[in-house]
């Protein structure tokens, strides 16, 4: 009986063991879009540029919406800068667009981007990206 209990405990221990998973091995499933990309840069003169693009699944995309905000960090909160908010909409399968704004002060900034890709492949894909940069 002791041997049986020991075997059961070993089996339970093996089942509850944790295994590391690395981000490169995680695949995100989407219904309507293959890829979304965002790049964010700030020049030495304070010109902040955000470039967004998506590649949809052929024959499935009916609408793509990209909401972009350039935000400055104040303590623990993020505030959208003046003229730093855009919404781009397209019915194309593949789409890209860039926007720029002149920053008035140094500090930590981020591009906050929400992609919403609608289509016939299922429910909308909603993908959020945040990229931080420092302007000094």
CATH code for position 54: 2.60.40.10
Domain that holds residue 120: 31-135
In a domain, 26, yes or no: no
pTM of the entire predicted model: 0.79
Tens digits of per-residue pLDDT, 66-124? 999 999 999 999 999 999 999 999 999 999 999 999 999 999 999 999 999 999 999 99
pLDDT digits (tens, 9 = 90+) for 50-65: 999 999 999 999 999 9
How would residue 20 be classed by pLDDT, with cut points 50, 70 and 90?
A: low
Cα–Cα distances in angstroms (integers) from residue 84 to residues 7, 53, 76, 129, in the given order: 62, 18, 19, 16
The number of domains in the chain is 1
């Amino acid at each position: 009986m002791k041997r049986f209990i020991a075997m059961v405990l070993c089996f339970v221990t093996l089942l509850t063991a944790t295994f590391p998973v690395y981000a490169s091995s995680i695949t995100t499933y989407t219904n309507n879009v293959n890829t979304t990309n965002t790049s964010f840069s700030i020049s030495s003169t304070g010109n902040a540029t955000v470039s967004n693009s998506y590649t949809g699944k052929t024959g499935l995309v009916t609408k793509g919406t990209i909401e972009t905000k350039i935000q400055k960090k104040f303590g623990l909160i993020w505030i959208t800068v003046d003229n730093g908010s855009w919404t781009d909409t397209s019915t194309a399968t593949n789409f890209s667009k860039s926007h720029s704004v002149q920053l008035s002060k140094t500090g930590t900034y981020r591009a906050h981007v929400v992609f919403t890709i609608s289509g016939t492949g299922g429910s909308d894909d909603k993908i959020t990206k945040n990229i931080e940069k420092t302007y000094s």
